[in-house]
Structure 1
């Protein structure tokens, strides 16, 4: 049940291209990307261009699911077009104010071991 993909019920469901910019460090990464994306249902082909660092996926799939799956292997993966990336970004939240935390000091026994090792002749 978990492997089912929701596809809109209409007569004209067409395959689409999803282009992503994925950092590839070696030709082994290329194989890993193909293997990762081949597991998604509805994908017909995966084309990896090592020189441009570009991955093109063709199939009946949700492009956000494809990117989420790709980010399991490559965290820096993003869409090729900047407009699509803007939709994927989460709004920036206000950072929490800094709070003071208690720092625990070493015990007397631990300090003695530190100095014993550093000043042993």
Structure 2
């Protein structure tokens, strides 16, 4: 994935900061994220804040390549911007109110579990 980066071929290329919100569950996740991002070409530094669940990358890179690399390690990674978060919330698909239960699933349930399913409806 590191060979697929798009870097502009002009002379006035400047480094940029890319901030992302990443779900980190342990300090091992922190090391894994830092190692994966530091191997990309054009990245100068990677800082991971475990308490804020925030990853900051500084370098000459395409921010979407950085995000795709990070999503290969942590599926819930997204950009830190508030604007993009609000768009995700607005356009999120509606969750079903009650799960659909198939006949095959009903046959495999015990009597107590079946009674709980019936009472929930």
TM-score, length of structure 1 as denominator length: 0.67
1:10 and 2:10 are equivalent in the alignment: yes
1:30-87 Cα shifts (integer Å, max 9, x gaps)? 1000011111110000000001000000000000010000000110000000335689
Aligned equivalents of 1:74 and 1:13: distance in 2? 29
| Distance change in 2, residues 1:84/1:43 (3 Å) | farther
Q: Which runs of at least 4 in structure 1 moved beyond 4 Å after TM superposition?
A: 84-88
Which structure has more helix as a fraction of its residues?
2
Instruction: Give unpaired runs (5+ residues) of structure 1.
Output: 94-102, 105-121
Instruction: Give unpaired runs (5+ residues) of structure 2.
Output: 94-102, 105-121
Alignment RMSD, CA only? 3.3
Larger Cα Rg: Structure 1 or Structure 2?
A: 1
Aligned equivalents of 2:71 and 2:6: distance in 1? 20
